[in-house]
Amino acid sequence: MSDLFPVRLEAARATRRGRTLVGPVDLELDGAGTTVVIGPNGAGKTTFLRMLHGTARLGGGRIRWNCTTEEARHHQCFVFQQPVMLRRTVMQNLIYPLRMRGMSRGEAEDRARRWAARVGLGSMLTRQAPVLSGGERQKLALARAMITEPKLLFLDEPCASLDGRAMREIEEILQEARAGGMRLILSTHDMGQARRLADEVLFLLHGWLHDRGAGPEFFTQPATPQARAFLNGDIVE
């Protein structure tokens, strides 16, 4: 169990320009498994992840980690829906976060080679990151986030716009990370992916947490009519 957890949200609200985008949310998350955040477009999934991560403005309430906020930030990473690549080689992208943390170049390059091989980019270390395919860029973003061995990894729609093969490869990387003890919190619009990955599901609608349940049971017995309608493919307003 990670010493970051449990994390408690107490009437937490994310705001922008005086407008509430998410919340208030009261929630406690423990330090094991994969939490999948689902909901229709505009439900607040990305903002919810960013609020937990600390990059969305907290307009009310509070988020309490089982450690200092500074320590919690140090042990987590965020993978965005559109990967942000340094205009450098794959190797330089991978060693960057390690060098920023004071690791020697030799040790950083050794770890980068291992991680590149782990995500299927072992033959691409000298390739410029911006010319990679969408799936390759997403795998590089994952490796760059996971190379620092964070205790918590946030992922916003990690497989959006990827083909089935790339999605399967990325899901395998995530399942391996989860099996190794990394805590995952991710959003997805793909219900097949949610079913495959979720130990726990959070259903958001209009910025509110409408439903919460264990992965397998949630998909067969959602507690709210809104969640049930969403899973049935109906339009939820």
For residue 40, tell me if it sits in a domain: yes
pLDDT tens string 91-145: 999 999 999 999 999 999 999 999 999 888 999 999 999 999 988 998 999 999 9
For residue 51, tell me if it sits in a domain: yes
Q: Could you count the other beta carbons within 10 Å of the beta carbon of residue 209?
A: 20
Q: What is the CATH number of the domain that holds 53?
A: 3.40.50.300
Range of the domain at 199: 7-84+152-231
* Domain count within the chain: 1
* Exposure b/e, 75-89, CB count within 10 A at least 16 = b: bbbbbbeebebeeee
pLDDT tier, 81 (very low <50, low <70, confident <90, very high otherwise): confident
pLDDT at 1: 42
Q: Nearest-CA neighbor of 34 among 236, 175, 203, 128? A: 175
pLDDT at 195: 96
pLDDT tens string 43-71: 999 999 999 999 998 999 999 999 999 99
Order of all β-strands in the sheet with 183-187 = 76-79, 152-156, 183-187, 34-38, 200-205, 208-214
Q: Residues 194-202: what's their mean pLDDT?
A: 97
pLDDT tier, 34 (very low <50, low <70, confident <90, very high otherwise): very high
Report the DSSP pairing between strands 76-79 and 152-156. Answer: parallel
This prediction's pTM:
0.93
- Give the least confident one: 68-72, 74-78, 161-165, 220-224: 161-165
For residue 236, tell me if it sits in a domain: no
For residue 121, tell me if it sits in a domain: no
Residue 87 pLDDT > 70: yes
pLDDT at 18: 86
Q: Residues 165-176: what's their mean pLDDT?
A: 90
pLDDT tier, 236 (very low <50, low <70, confident <90, very high otherwise): confident
For residue 115, tell me if it sits in a domain: no
What residue has token string 């990370």? 177
Four-residue CA torsion sign, 160, 162, 165, 171: negative
Helix orientation angle between 90-100 and 105-118, rounded to the nearest 10 degrees: 130
For residue 92, tell me if it sits in a domain: no
pLDDT tens string 108-117: 999 999 999 9
